[in-house]
Amino acid sequence: MTATKKQLARWATLKNRKDRRESGLFLAEGRKLVHEILAAGWVVEALLDEREQIERVSSLRTAPDLLAVVRVPPAPLTEWTPGSLVFLLDGVQDPGNVGNIIRNAAWFGFSAVVCSPDSADPWQPKVVQATMGAFLRLSCLVIDPLRYLDGLPKGTPVIGTVLDGESLWTYHLPKEGIVVLGNEGHGIREELLERLTGRLTIPQFGSGGESLNVASASALFGAEFRRRMV
């Protein structure tokens, strides 16, 4: 389509969280991702295929050959679905980490990724790119984590990843529940630690630093949960 200068200027602001929240729109960049979004039936407000117009809107250093302005889907219900697994991100701020966690969650069949308001926005362009389209296969929700936990049925397992917890390899994992992943530098906030029903760690065998990357940890947790269910 051919867009006006005013439209292009408005879409370019979708790189900002405030403008995404107010408009309910986000950018999807690249032919493969855009085609997946169209095939999934998501609402696309605009498609840009003219290089000059794409360059004025794109968040990428090298503008893609196709860009879509997409409507953020309605927030899913926060009610707990029995038998499901959910990642709850507490202040995970790196867009690449959030995108890869969403990708890992989809791979291991998690039903949702819940992001705290101080985590990277799941609709941020860098997060969207890092997911490789995985956000199409599960729910992404931005909500205060304490409010989310308050809405769960009593007794729902809430597992937290901490440095001084029990070993992931030996802990009796539940078949459903919430897996809380904390901030890259500070871990899980105290208010959430008090809500945990299990505190787990991935044992360290080498000298590779003080902690494991949070996205890598999500992959190991996802794999171990699913391995136990086989």
Estimate to the nearest angstrom the gap between the alpha carbon of 5 and the chain centroid.
32
Q: Write down the pTM of the prediction.
A: 0.94
Q: 85-229 sits in which CATH class?
A: alpha beta
Q: Where in the chain is the domain with CATH 3.30.1330.30?
A: 5-71
The string of pLDDT tens digits covering residues 72-117 is 998 776 667 888 999 999 999 999 999 999 999 999 999 999 999 9
Place of tokens 């995108």: 99
Query: Contact at 8 Å (CB) between 85 and 179?
Result: yes
Q: How confident is the model at residue 230 (pLDDT cuts 50, 70, 90)?
A: low
Determine the straight-line distance between the first and last CA of the chain, rounded to whole angstroms: 49
Place of tokens 């505190």: 199
Residues recorded for the chain: 230
Q: Where in the chain is the domain with CATH 3.40.1280.10?
A: 85-229
pLDDT recorded at residue 229: 85
The string of pLDDT tens digits covering residues 13-55 is 999 999 999 999 999 999 999 999 999 999 999 999 999 999 9
Q: Does domain 5-71 have CATH number 3.30.1330.30?
A: yes
